[in-house]
């Protein structure tokens, strides 16, 4: 049972889980269901059904109606009960922390005989608290995470920082595993396309939160575009409305606004077609505790594209990327460094092909979802 994220959306969390489970489901190595609290999918999938051999049930509640929480719990628990297979090993894979949304399902599932595994993908001690409800949820998750060692069978962590945090919490009683970012290499059929330096496209995909450093990228692009009049910047993703509006305002005020294309949230096929058509990929996370704790998921896709990658030296990034070998590594929070890296690719397009080939090999060696999903399966088999 997958909980904590919809496996059918297009954002980073959904894609991480989909990359981990679909190779296993497709080969018949396990069966999976998805208990969904809410969905960002732009195409309606209904309230209950099966997609790609994965059963799902959406049980969201409305904040405007506090009593809907009871329907939320009843429907969710019913789906847990319905999905449990007698005589089989039943596991709840919970994306991120135990919190107010999921604790009832976790406790009921445990009572039904489910074994619980937590996949920790961020440090919630450093998360920005937007709104009263979210603040309460985060604060409560800190307490529940400390208690989780009494009712979980394993922790999975996406970064070295989170691995160490999970180890501290496990106190040697619960196994902890490191599973980094993943990428479905099948989406990148166009990698290796020669880059000739004409009409270069710079790509950013993800959320638009302050941690992503997009304000630095926009300022750097404006400076670079003064010398190169054909270069374009393409932005895709989905974020908090307030963050998105700030970015749109910066674009509107930019002298390069006619060459900045804000695409927003794209369907999967459209997203990967666009990604494969671009030449330079930017991961510009800032030097914050939150940014350093995790591991930017989209970086795996940028590397798999086989093109030029610019990445800030935050978190686990230097563990896999090396400057001038498979990417251009820059200091975070530096417009000047972004300008320098963009200019290096623009002035020498051949560098995009050379570093891109090495970037692709890095993705294949470390983040291939076909390989990494087997690690998850071995964890399930061991508990």
pLDDT tens string 43-60: 578 889 999 999 999 998
pLDDT over 90 percentage in the chain: 80
The rounded distance, in Å, linking the Cα atoms of 309 and 280 is 6
Query: According to the model, what pLDDT value does residue 142 have?
Result: 93
Contact predicate 33/56, CB 8 Å = yes
**How many Å separate Cα 80 from the centre of its chain?**
25
What confidence category does residue 193 fall into, taking pLDDT thresholds of 50, 70 and 90? Answer: low
pLDDT tens string 294-313: 999 999 999 999 999 999 99
Domains in the chain (CATH in brackets) are: 2-182+368-382 (3.40.50.2000), 185-366 (3.40.50.2000)
In 179-315, DSSP assigns E strands to: 201-206, 232-237, 260-264, 280-283, 308-312
**How many Å separate Cα 298 from the centre of its chain?**
6
Contact predicate 327/338, CB 8 Å = no
Mean pLDDT of the chain: 92
In the chain, DSSP assigns E strands to: 2-3, 32-36, 48-51, 54-58, 91-95, 115-120, 154-157, 176-178, 201-206, 232-237, 260-264, 280-283, 308-312, 328-330
pLDDT at 352 over 70: yes
What confidence category does residue 383 fall into, taking pLDDT thresholds of 50, 70 and 90? Answer: very high
Query: According to the model, what pLDDT value does residue 39 have?
Result: 65
Q: Three-class SS of residue 202?
A: strand
């Amino acid at each position: 049972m997958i909980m904590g994220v919809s496996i059918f959306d297009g954002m980073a969390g959904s894609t991480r889980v989909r990359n981990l489970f679909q190779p296993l489901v497709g080969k018949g190595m396990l069966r999976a269901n998805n208990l969904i609290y809410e969905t960002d999918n732009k195409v309606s999938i209904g309230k209950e059904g099966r997609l790609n051999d994965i059963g799902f049930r959406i049980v969201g509640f409305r904040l405007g109606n506090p009593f809907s929480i009871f329907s939320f719990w009843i429907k969710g628990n019913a789906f847990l009960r319905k999905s449990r297979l007698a005589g089989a090993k039943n596991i709840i894979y919970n994306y991120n922390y135990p919190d107010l949304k999921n604790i009832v399902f976790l406790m009921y599932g445990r009572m039904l005989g489910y074994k619980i595994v937590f996949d920790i993908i961020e440090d919630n001690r450093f998360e920005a608290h937007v709104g009263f409800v979210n603040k309460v949820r985060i604060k409560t998750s800190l307490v529940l995470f400390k208690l989780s060692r009494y009712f979980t069978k394993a922790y999975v962590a996406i970064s070295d920082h989170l691995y160490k945090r999970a180890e501290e919490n496990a106190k040697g009683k619960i196994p902890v595993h490191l599973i980094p970012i993943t990428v479905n290499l099948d989406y990148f059929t166009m990698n290796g396309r020669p880059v000739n330096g004409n009409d270069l496209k710079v790509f950013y995909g993800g959320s638009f939160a302050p941690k992503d450093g997009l304000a630095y990228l926009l300022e750097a692009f404006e400076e670079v575009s003064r010398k190169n009049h054909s270069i374009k910047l393409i932005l895709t993703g989905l974020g908090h409305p307030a963050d998105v509006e700030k970015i749109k305002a910066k674009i509107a005020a930019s002298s390069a606004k006619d060459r900045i294309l804000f695409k927003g949230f794209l369907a999967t096929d459209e997203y990967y077609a666009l990604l494969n058509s671009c030449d330079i990929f930017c991961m510009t996370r800032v030097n914050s505790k939150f940014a350093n704790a995790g591991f930017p998921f989209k970086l795996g896709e940028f590397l798999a594209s086989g093109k030029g990658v610019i990445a800030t030296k935050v978190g686990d990034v230097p563990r896999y990327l090396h400057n001038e070998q498979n990417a251009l590594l820059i200091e975070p929070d530096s417009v000047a460094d972004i300008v320098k890296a963009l200019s290096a690719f623009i002035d020498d397009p051949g560098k995009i092909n050379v570093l891109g080939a090495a970037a692709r090999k890095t993705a294949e060696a470390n983040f291939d979802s076909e390989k990494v999903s087997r690690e998850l399966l071995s964890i399930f088999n061991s508990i």
